[in-house]
Every structure is written in structure tokens, then in C-alpha cells.
A and B are shown apart, each in its own frame.
Chain A
Amino acid sequence: EAGVAQSPRYKIIEKRQSVAFWCNPISGHATLYWYQQILGQGPKLLIQFQNNGVVDDSQLPKDRFSAERLKGVDSTLKIQPAKLEDSAVYLCASSWGLSNTIYFGEGSWLTVV
């Protein structure tokens, strides 16, 4: 069974530029999460989708971050404009349902210079 796919794996951008990350969850998984992991810290939940609807985006900095999950499958996370403090690994995770084990992708590493 294929895992959670993320791209790009690495991205370096200048501050104030924009960037987008893509996530393809495990087939059939209805729940999708985006986490931000700053170096040396544990991941922090940014947003949770159930199918194509947002369940929780309370920790998403909405002035610069946006996310969507069209058709309830793939998802994109966008940052515009980026700040230095956005340098982190962006992890996508999915699960069959709300009360099931979640599976993480390898992450997309962002460096803002």
C-alpha cells in the first residue's frame, strides 16, 4: 500500500515569496492533516480536513497560510508571503477516519532566507 506522498521534498525561497506544498493521502483516507515542525520541536497541527471540509484550522495563521482539499483527496498548503520563521518541515498525515491511526508523509522541508 502506497504511503502519504508529499512534494516537493525540499524548497528554499526568499522571504516574501510564496510556496505551495502538495499532499496525496493514502487511498481511501477521509481525514487529512497538515502539521508544521520547527527544528528541534514536536509537530504542531495547522489544519484538519474531513473529506473536503475543514474540521479545525484554529492554529493556521490565516493571514499568510491557506490550504484546500479539492474533491476530498489531494491537498495543497500555501504560504504567501513567507517569513523567516516559516522555515520548518511541513508534514501531511492521513487516516481512514477520525478515530483511526494516522500515517505521516516524509515531509516537505522549507527554508526561508
Chain B
Amino acid sequence: AQRVTQPEKLLSVFKGAPVELKCNYSYSGSPELFWYVQYSRQRLQLLLRHISRESIKGFTADLNKGETSFHLKKPFAQEEDSAMYYCALSGPGTASKLTFGTGTRLQVTL
């Protein structure tokens, strides 16, 4: 069975501090991994996917197959990063359902 675990419900950091949102997964095979973000009063939207290997809004995430992790990182948190972050996985290649973690609320304070 596929599973995504986000151990922290809430992560509170100061502006300018580094951020790491943890995500571990369980999947038989090679999944696609995603981070989705939901800002206050906005719809859920894709932040980044591991295949793209890109940095979005200063965030990066590296897939570690040995540790089955896909942690989201940003070196310097900004107030506008405050949101709900969901890690998700799907089967490789073609369209298939997303399995989400329970989400981590990131709170960036001054």
C-alpha cells in the first residue's frame, strides 16, 4: 500500500530562518513525488515535483530513495510562505491518483 507521512502538523519558524518540512513515503516501485501548497483562502496548487528538479519560490526538494524521503527546504523563510503544505505521491508516468500526507502548517513569524 502506498502511504505518505508528514510527521509535523505545525512548524513555526522566524522570518529569515531555514525551513525543512519533512515527508516520508512508502511505495512499491518508483513513484512520482509532489509538494502541493494551500495558501489562506486559495485553492490547492502544485509547488514542485521531483521530476522537474527545479526551485520554486526558493523551495527545493530532493528525492532520497534510500531513506524514502522527499523533504521540502528553503534557506530563508518569508512571511508569505505561511500556508498548508502537502506532500503527495502517484504512480509513475500516466495519470493516477495522488496519495497525500496529512499536511504541515508552516507559520512564519517576525
User: Are A and B associated in one complex?
Assistant: no
Interface residues of B, Cβ cutoff 8 Å to A: none
Interface residues of A, Cβ cutoff 8 Å to B: none
